């Protein structure tokens, strides 16, 4: 095992996966989208207010490119103070030299970064039962993009920034019969399980009103999920035929895995699971308001699941220490890119913390 990596699942192909990662350089792709689901008061803390959460994804990726933001004044914050996990991701990029590419899978306002824009408009609230349209187009484009990225022969880290993404994750997983209620993690300290469950219930109800009879995975994800799920699910499915893929996130990446299972069944395509892992942070793994370990087993028993052992308890900054209280846990691929860095020895836990503190020091 690599130092800094926690093995969440027992998995036969773990050592081989690590070997394949070590053979290559990495590449980080962050998929962003905005959904009106995030404007429901109390549903998310990825951004201090419902209005600011419209711009969290854009500000996150602007920071990745410029160490500053344009869409809003500063990087997104939990209302209680600690900064967006983008600070971890940025530190990992700086230390590793890993290049970053952005996929805009539907932001209502566009970020000031070079982005592969595959959907112009933002997503609607899932309670409408129709979160977005043209899912097949997103599938086509993601598949063809995967072929191009695969040619680079790098291991690929797929991250996301989608405020309210754990709610849309819960929605997709529970629709597919996974008992995910009360198990997904959250940017909110005390989670918001009953509100999330209520929103999801309405979403499923309204979706079923629209879709009598059999629905395809495209109908379902575009009805009650989000566009990040189809983009990262499709990319991972086709990338894994060629290179190792790290799904960088917690509950949201479990929803991606859930979608991959359904999509591959629908397409009649074999998934090379030995080339796929989910990697999140220790904060998600230890989240007492959720059950990441249990949920991952429910989604796929023999999935390779990892967590990065990042620890801010010894940080000199109060804003970072607050991560240890569960105020921010994951996002912008933080857990997965840190994990890749530990496996690949681009950095260790100490140098990572130093770089994060350097960035945070410049910010405050």
User: Residue 127 or residue 234: which is nearer to a copy of itself going by CB?
Assistant: 234
Q: What's the burial of 151, exposed, middle or buried (CB within 10 Å: 0-12/13-18/19+)?
A: exposed
CB of 141 to a copy of itself, least distance (A): 5
CB of 110 to a copy of itself, least distance (A): 8
Q: Binding of a copy of itself at residue 118 (CB under 8 A)?
A: yes
Q: Which one among 81, 99, 294, 314 touches a copy of itself, defined by CB under 8 A? A: 99
Kindly indicate which of the ranges 16-24, 77-85, 107-115, 189-197 contains the residues binding a copy of itself, using the contact rule CB under 8 A.
107-115
The span from the CA of 86 to the CA of 55, in Å, is: 14
CB of 229 to a copy of itself, least distance (A): 17
User: Residue 112 or residue 293: which is nearer to a copy of itself going by CB?
Assistant: 112
CB of 359 to a copy of itself, least distance (A): 17
Q: Which one among 46, 145, 245, 338 touches a copy of itself, defined by CB under 8 A? A: 145
Q: Binding of a copy of itself at residue 6 (CB under 8 A)?
A: no
The span from the CA of 154 to the CA of 149, in Å, is: 8
Task: Count residues near a copy of itself (CB under 8 A).
Answer: 27
Kindly indicate which of the ranges 122-130, 136-144, 203-211, 217-225 contains the residues binding a copy of itself, using the contact rule CB under 8 A.
136-144
Pairing of strands 26-32, 100-104: parallel
Q: Binding of a copy of itself at residue 121 (CB under 8 A)?
A: no
User: Residue 231 or residue 284: which is nearer to a copy of itself going by CB?
Assistant: 231
Residues 147-176 that bind a copy of itself (CB under 8 A): 148-149, 151-152, 154
Q: Dihedral sign, CA of 196, 199, 205, 208?
A: negative
Residue 295 zone, left/alpha/beta (φ > 0; ψ -120 to 50; rest):
alpha
- What is the greatest pairwise CA distance in the chain? 57
User: Residue 148 or residue 190: which is nearer to a copy of itself going by CB?
Assistant: 148
- HEC profile of 336-351: HHHHHHHHCCCCCHHH
- Residue 325 DSSP symbol: G
User: Residue 144 or residue 350: which is nearer to a copy of itself going by CB?
Assistant: 144
| Partners of 77 in beta bridges | 83
Element (H or E) spanning 74, and its range?
A: none
Location of structure tokens 């344009």: 70
CB of 234 to a copy of itself, least distance (A): 11
Q: Which one among 10, 15, 74, 137 touches a copy of itself, defined by CB under 8 A? A: 137
Q: How far does CA 275 lie from the centroid of its chain?
A: 18
Q: Which one among 49, 144, 350, 351 touches a copy of itself, defined by CB under 8 A? A: 144
User: Residue 112 or residue 201: which is nearer to a copy of itself going by CB?
Assistant: 112
Q: At 77, phi and psi to the nearest 5?
A: -135, 150
Q: Binding of a copy of itself at residue 101 (CB under 8 A)?
A: yes
Q: Which one among 80, 116, 195, 267 touches a copy of itself, defined by CB under 8 A? A: 116
Q: Binding of a copy of itself at residue 68 (CB under 8 A)?
A: no
Element (H or E) spanning 155, and its range?
A: strand 155-161
User: Residue 101 or residue 176: which is nearer to a copy of itself going by CB?
Assistant: 101
Q: At 326, phi and psi to the nearest 5?
A: 80, 20
| Partners of 276 in beta bridges | 245
Residues 8-27 that bind a copy of itself (CB under 8 A): 27
Query: Which residue blocks in 151-213 are alpha helix, DSSP H?
Result: 165-175, 193-210
The span from the CA of 337 to the CA of 307, in Å, is: 11
Kindly indicate which of the ranges 96-104, 192-200, 299-307, 318-326 contains the residues binding a copy of itself, using the contact rule CB under 8 A.
96-104
The span from the CA of 228 to the CA of 246, in Å, is: 15
Closest Cα to residue 58, out of 31, 87, 88, 94? 31
For a copy of itself, the binding residues (CB under 8 A) are 27, 65-66, 97-101, 103, 112-118, 137, 140-142, 144-145, 148-149, 151-152, 154
């Amino acid at each position: 095992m690599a130092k800094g990596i926690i093995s969440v699942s027992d998995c036969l192909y773990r050592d081989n996966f690590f070997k394949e990662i070590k053979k290559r350089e990495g590449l980080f792709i962050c998929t962003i989208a905005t959904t009106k689901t995030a404007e429901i008061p109390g549903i998310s803390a990825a951004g201090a207010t419902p209005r600011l959460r419209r711009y969290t994804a854009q500000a996150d990726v602007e920071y990745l490119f410029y160490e500053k933001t344009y869409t809003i004044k500063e990087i997104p914050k939990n209302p209680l103070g600690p900064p967006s996990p983008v600070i971890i991701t940025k530190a990992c990029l700086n230390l590793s030299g890993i290049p970053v590419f952005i996929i805009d899978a539907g932001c209502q306002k566009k970020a000031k970064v070079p982005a592969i824009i595959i959907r112009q408009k933002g997503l609607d609230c899932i309670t409408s039962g129709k979160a977005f349209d043209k899912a097949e187009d997103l599938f086509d484009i993601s598949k063809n993009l995967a072929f191009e990225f695969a040619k680079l022969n790098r291991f690929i880290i797929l991250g996301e920034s989608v405020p309210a993404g754990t709610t849309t994750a819960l929605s997709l997983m529970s629709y597919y019969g996974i008992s995910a209620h009360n198990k997904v993690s959250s940017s909110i300290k005390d989670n918001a399980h009953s509100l999330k469950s209520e929103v999801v219930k309405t979403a499923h109800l309204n979706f079923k009103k629209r879709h009598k009879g059999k629905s395809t995975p495209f109908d379902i994800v575009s009805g009650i999920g989000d566009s990040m799920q189809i983009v990262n699910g499709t990319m991972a499915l086709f990338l894994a035929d060629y290179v190792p893929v790290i799904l960088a996130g917690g509950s949201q990446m479990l929803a991606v895995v859930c979608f991959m299972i359904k999509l591959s069944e629908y397409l009649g395509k074999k998934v090379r699971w030995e080339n796929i892992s989910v990697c999140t942070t220790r904060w998600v793994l230890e989240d007492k308001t959720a059950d990441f370990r249990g949920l991952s087993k429910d989604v796929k028993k023999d999935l390779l699941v990892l967590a990065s052992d990042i620890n801010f308890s010894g940080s000199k900054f109060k804003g970072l220490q607050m991560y240890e209280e569960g105020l921010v846990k994951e996002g912008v691929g933080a857990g997965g890119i840190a994990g890749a860095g530990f496996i690949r020895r681009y950095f260790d836990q100490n140098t990572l913390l130093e770089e994060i503190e350097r960035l945070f020091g410049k910010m405050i």
